Structure 1
Amino acid sequence: MMLQRWFFTVLLLVTLPASLAAQERYLVAYAGFAGFQAPVWAPKDLGLMAKYGFNGDVVLVPGSVRQIQALQGGSIHFAQADAATAINAINQGADLVMISGSLNSFPYSFMAQKEIRKPGDLVGKKIGILAVGGATETATILALKAWNVPRQSVTIFPAGDPVARIVALSTRAIDATVLSYPDINEALRVGMHALADMSEMKEASFPMNVMVARRSFVEKNREAVKRFQQAYAEGTHQFINDKEKGLAVLTKRLRQKNSKAIEETYQYFASKFSFPTRISPVGLRNTLELLSQRPGAKIDMNVNKYVDESTLDDLEREGFFKRLAGKS
């Protein structure tokens, strides 16, 4: 019996396509459970990684800062992070590059205690963020600048993930924070209100979802990267254009089980995601300019230092995006 099992195992390995038998398993990280993580979930949940021959799985690595650390350490291969965190790391010498993007505006609302009725009321208040150097801090600073509220007039500090920040709001440990769907609904439920929808602010052009990988990995594994780009792009496209599939992805992945909240999350992000999955040049310039204004910052303004969309260029020339768009 043992000999028979050994024979069939050897036979299976011999008859498998060489590329499949030897293919490495790639890990793609998402940062949390907000709706804007859907472009990472959809390729896996809708079978698109398998469709394009990309042997991958998705893993939770909380927060963009930790994702960047995991990429640099080689424990993951791709991460959907925000542009500010990626740029900061690359500018400090990290072997990283942004290869695509699926959301080019802030998905946040600025949630605050009910007595904070206008931006000027934030003076002297405490604002919670996820992490220093990440998207929530960048969004907060940008909003304060747009409102002419001096950065020094408020206290900004890390207060945990969205759930922790909602608890902090409810206990008045913080006075305001930025949240996305479906967490906005929970903040409203505990008595907060939306001071502003940041996606409607003219300063909101910001690459919130950028796919990041090690530059050396991209150069050595171009075919695998291209296969991933196809799955990522079609996942985003299907989410935008097929409500049933989009809702199925969110229902599976969100910690929120309220069907109305899931529906609202879908409606919001289906209209915000980008296709083709490219990083906005305007948003990238905005981010570079914003980061360069921080005290002591020395930011290289050369976009090519941070972005390599050459695999997307290949797909564009091959008509990939036109074919996908033609199916909708």
Structure 2
Amino acid sequence: MKKLCLGLFAAGFSLISDSHAVAQDKIRVGLSSVSALHGAMWVAEQKGLFRKHGIETEIIVTGQGATAGIGALLANDIQIASAGGDSLVNAALRGGETVMIAAGVNKGLNRIMVRSDVKTPADLKGRKIGATRIGAVSHSVLLMMLKRWNMSPTDVQVLQLGSSPNMLQALDKGGIDGAVMTIPFVFIAEDRGFRVLVDLAETDIYYLHTMIASTRSYIKANRDNALRFLKGFLEGIA
């Protein structure tokens, strides 16, 4: 009789566990790039912090900078985006229903990496500069610095290369003269002999380099899911 009771208890516990697993609410999360800037997201995923709060996350890299990530969000291909704030604001100004629900980094961590023969900002005139995508954070950073250097956007030729790894490869092959890159690829570039023209973290420029975004319709319909997701994300930061 005891064996029967234990067997029934084990079976019941198994059903409860399976039911709990099925009860996990799924959220697709898009990262704008492969970067340490999204580290908290990976930590929360790997340590099971989202699952702890009943959320099953599918993390994908949308690539092509924040512009593509916000585009995927508006197309409902993902429910949460981790990307640059400028693209979210631009989408909202154009009538999109994007909304920021958290911010990860409010200071620029980009660096403009250049070939060794580029000594000053003026040396960039007529040169090819890599960015992830027009309208993405890397492009916005370049425009901000050109303005600060009293230069025009037309003074340089911007090439859309999609990611920091692609920009690093283009620098290696001589296809570009500079690039707006993020960590950890800026360190790799330095090891290969490229120099830092400007480190945004050392300037007095503040902007939403990385934020967590969703859409108003998703938040309205899935407020509890969003709150539980944020709990896991915040624990990933801690």
In structure 2, which of residues 79, 82, 85 is the aligned counterpart of residue 83 of structure 1? 85
**d(CA) in 2 for partners of 1:23, 1:46:** 16
Larger fraction in helix: 1
Aligned partner of 1:105 in structure 2 is 107
**d(CA) in 1 for partners of 2:203, 2:150:** 14
Look up the SS of the partner of 1:223 in the other structure. helix
Look up the SS of the partner of 1:202 in the other structure. coil
* 1:119-138 map, 5 Å: 119-138=121-140
Number of aligned residue pairs: 229
Larger fraction in strand: 2
**d(CA) in 2 for partners of 1:16, 1:193:** 54
Contact 1:110-1:196 at 8 Å conserved across structures: yes
Amino acid at match of 2:148: A
In structure 2, which of residues 159, 162, 165 is the aligned counterpart of residue 163 of structure 1? 165
Aligned partner of 2:69 in structure 1 is 67
Change (3 A) 1:12 1:179: same
| Length-normalised TM-score, structure 1 | 0.65
**d(CA) in 2 for partners of 1:82, 1:30:** 10
Aligned partner of 1:92 in structure 2 is 94
**d(CA) in 1 for partners of 2:139, 2:78:** 25
**d(CA) in 1 for partners of 2:157, 2:182:** 21
User: How far off its partner does 1:15 sit?
Assistant: 4.5
**d(CA) in 1 for partners of 2:21, 2:166:** 43
Aligned partner of 2:212 in structure 1 is 211
Change (3 A) 1:109 1:51: same
Amino acid at match of 2:109: P
Aligned partner of 1:37 in structure 2 is 38
User: How far off its partner does 1:44 sit?
Assistant: 0.7
User: How far off its partner does 1:105 sit?
Assistant: 1.2
Aligned partner of 1:232 in structure 2 is 233
Look up the SS of the partner of 2:90 in the other structure. helix
| Length-normalised TM-score, structure 2 | 0.88
Aligned partner of 2:143 in structure 1 is 141
**Please, which runs of 5 or more residues in structure 1 have no aligned partner?**
1-9, 238-328
**d(CA) in 2 for partners of 1:229, 1:111:** 34
* 1:221-300 map, 5 Å: 221-237=222-238
**d(CA) in 2 for partners of 1:169, 1:17:** 51
User: How far off its partner does 1:18 sit?
Assistant: 7.5
**d(CA) in 1 for partners of 2:143, 2:163:** 18
Higher mean alpha-carbon deviation, 89-98 vs 108-117, is at: 89-98
The RMSD of aligned alpha carbons is 2.4
* 1:191-206 map, 5 Å: 191-203=193-205, 205-206=206-207
